[in-house]
Each structure stands twice: as C-alpha cells, then as structure tokens.
C-alpha cells in the first residue's frame, strides 16, 4: 500500500441503491456508531458482525482511535477483522486478540508538515494547545486538558515534541490533536482547514473543539479505498456506518452508507441512508436487514 496516496473518488456521491452490488465489506466507525455510549458492544451487534463474516463479508473497524485503544474492541468482538486507526493513519490487524495487534500499514504525518501545522494554527487560533499521537507513544503540551485515557509520555511544547531530535524521533507521527477551550467546534474546524491548506488533513470526531490532523490525503476514506483495492473490492460493494465529521468522506465514498440516529448533520447529509442511534443497535439492525436481503 502506498503512503499518503490521494483518493479523489472519496468525494464521489453514492450511487442509487438499485445500482449496488451485493456487499463484500462492512466499514464501521466505533465511538457513537458501533459502540454504545458506555463503550460496550451489545450481544446483538456481536452476533450481527459474526453472521456477516460467516457469510463471507469482511468487517473493518474504521476509527479515529489510536491502535493502543483497540483492545477493548477486540475483546468485545472476539478479534473480528482489521482496524483502520487514527482516521486512516494506520491499518492494524486485530485477529490475534487483545494486546497483540499488529501494524499492517502506517501513513504518517511528516514532521515538517506537522511543525508547519502547529505554527499556522497557533497564529489562526491563539490559545490552541496540542497533543501528538505516534505509533506507540502519546505526548502533549502542559496546558492540554486531560481528555484521554492515558498519562502522556512527555509534557512538552509541540515544537519540542516534533523536533528532529525530539522524544521518540524515530517513531512515525500518526496525527496531531489540536484543542481550543473557547471556540465553537465546527468554527474551529473551518478555521483550521483554511489555515492548514494542503499541508495536512483536518477533521473532528469529538463534541468539543478538538481537531484531529493527519497527513495530506490521509483519511478514513482514502485508507479504506486502498485496503479495498488490495482485495479487489469496489466502492459499490462497501457498506459504511458513521456519526461524526471524520466519517463524511468514507460515507460519501461507500456504495451504501448509513448515518446513525445520533449523527452530526453533515453526516446525515453525506450518507445514502440512516439507521437508529448507536444505543439502539443501529449497525446491527442494518446488517441483519442486509443479510436477509442479499443472502
């Protein structure tokens, strides 16, 4: 798989249902989509995923989460499938179970680009604070709030974290997290996209003003498209689920896509269909209907 490849078809509009081929791959977001709000996967959802795989349909988890946060998912779903993590920055094999995930592909954010993003966003949105995700490390600035599960490896300014001789300098940077304590989340996203331009891909999946910044052309959609191309699967054969702006490109690219009942308005506009909320097993309901329809 080639790194940082752009997939312009990620902006293609879904085809009408009548033109769709039988599904060969299910791509689902996790938080707010497959997972309930208590971070559990319901027995109904576990059964639906297992039935899909038994029918020969691959299951991909496509998430903004880092790979080290995937153990909870592999525990719940017994190691089904692959995970696209960090909004497309890494592909991880979960089949060996909790604690044994394996990186298949890494699409990193070059440090020069990362430093440029930090600089221009500090100027465009004063008060922005940063954290940095790497394949195995997590670092943050001293003023970055406690938003995540773990204690950071280092508390340093982003410029020092990303410097050529910074901590874990040999380890790829997967994404930057940029947080602003006061700005409207959607307004912050617009500001950042205008400031960053083509130096990186900027999206968000949090209800707060927390942005996720990956390499140019790196998104859930582009990495999913590359994975599908390796398997000879066309976008028409993909069914996707999501709830937040970082899912929009994936939902637009997939042949059939569903916004959750709890989805952001941009997601509802992008998807070709809609299901009920994550807490009501919206993904499982669609998979059950799909298997009854196609198989």
Mean pLDDT over the full length of the chain: 89
Task: Give how far Cα 51 sits from Cα of 242, 244, 280, Å.
Answer: 20, 26, 19
End-to-end CA distance of the chain: 31
Counting residues of the chain whose pLDDT is more than 70, the rounded percentage is 88
Q: Would you give the DSSP letter of residue 34?
A: I
- This prediction's pTM: 0.87
Average pLDDT over residues 249-268: 97
Confidence category of residue 5, pLDDT binned at 50, 70, 90: very low
Contact 9, 253 (CB under 8 A): yes
Cβ distance 225 to 9 under 8 Å?
Answer: yes
**Does 54 score more than 70 pLDDT?**
yes
pLDDT, tens digit (0-9, with 9 covering 90-100), for 220-253: 999 999 999 999 999 999 999 999 999 999 999 9
Provide the strand spans (E) within the chain: 25-28, 58-62, 82-85, 90-93, 102-106, 129-134, 138-140, 154-155, 173-179, 201-203, 210-214, 238-242, 256-259, 273-274
CA atoms of 87 and 136, how far apart (whole Å): 16
Domains, in order of start, for the chain: 17-107+219-294 (3.40.50.1000), 111-214 (3.30.1240.10)
Q: 3-state DSSP: the chain helix, strand, coil percent, rounded to 5?
A: 40, 20, 40
List, in order, residues 6 or more apart from 188 with CB less than 8 Å away. 125, 180, 204, 209, 211
Model confidence pLDDT, tens digit, residues 84-113: 999 999 999 877 766 667 889 999 999 999
């Amino acid at each position: 798989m080639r790194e940082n490849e752009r997939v312009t078809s990620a902006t293609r509009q879904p085809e009408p249902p009548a033109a769709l081929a039988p599904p060969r791959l299910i791509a689902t977001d996790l938080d707010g989509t497959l997972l309930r709000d208590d971070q559990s996967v319901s027995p109904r959802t576990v059964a639906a995923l297992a039935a899909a795989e038994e029918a020969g349909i691959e299951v991909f988890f496509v998430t903004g989460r880092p790979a080290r946060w995937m153990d909870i998912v592999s525990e719940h779903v017994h190691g089904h499938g692959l995970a696209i993590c960090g909004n497309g920055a890494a592909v991880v094999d979960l089949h060996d179970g909790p604690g044994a995930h394996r990186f298949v592909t890494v699409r990193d954010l070059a440090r020069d680009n990362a430093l440029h993003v930090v600089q221009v966003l500090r100027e465009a949105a004063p008060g922005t604070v940063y954290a940095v995700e790497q394949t195995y490390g997590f670092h943050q600035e001293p003023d970055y709030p406690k938003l995540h599960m773990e204690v950071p490896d280092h508390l340093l300014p982003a410029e020092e974290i990303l410097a050529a001789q910074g901590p874990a300098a040999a380890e790829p940077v997967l994404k930057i997290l940029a947080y602003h304590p006061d700005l409207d989340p959607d307004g912050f996203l617009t500001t950042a996209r205008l400031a960053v331009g083509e130096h990186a891909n900027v999206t968000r999946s949090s209800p707060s003003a927390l942005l996720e910044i990956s390499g140019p052309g790196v998104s859930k959609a582009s990495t999913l498209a590359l994975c599908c191309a390796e398997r000879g699967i066309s976008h028409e054969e993909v069914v996707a689920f999501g709830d937040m702006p970082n899912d929009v490109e994936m939902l637009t690219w997939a042949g059939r896509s569903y916004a959750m009942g709890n989805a952001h308005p941009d997601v509802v506009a992008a998807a070709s269909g809609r299901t009920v909320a994550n807490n009501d097993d919206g993904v499982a309901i669609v998979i059950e209907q799909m298997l009854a329809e196609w198989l």
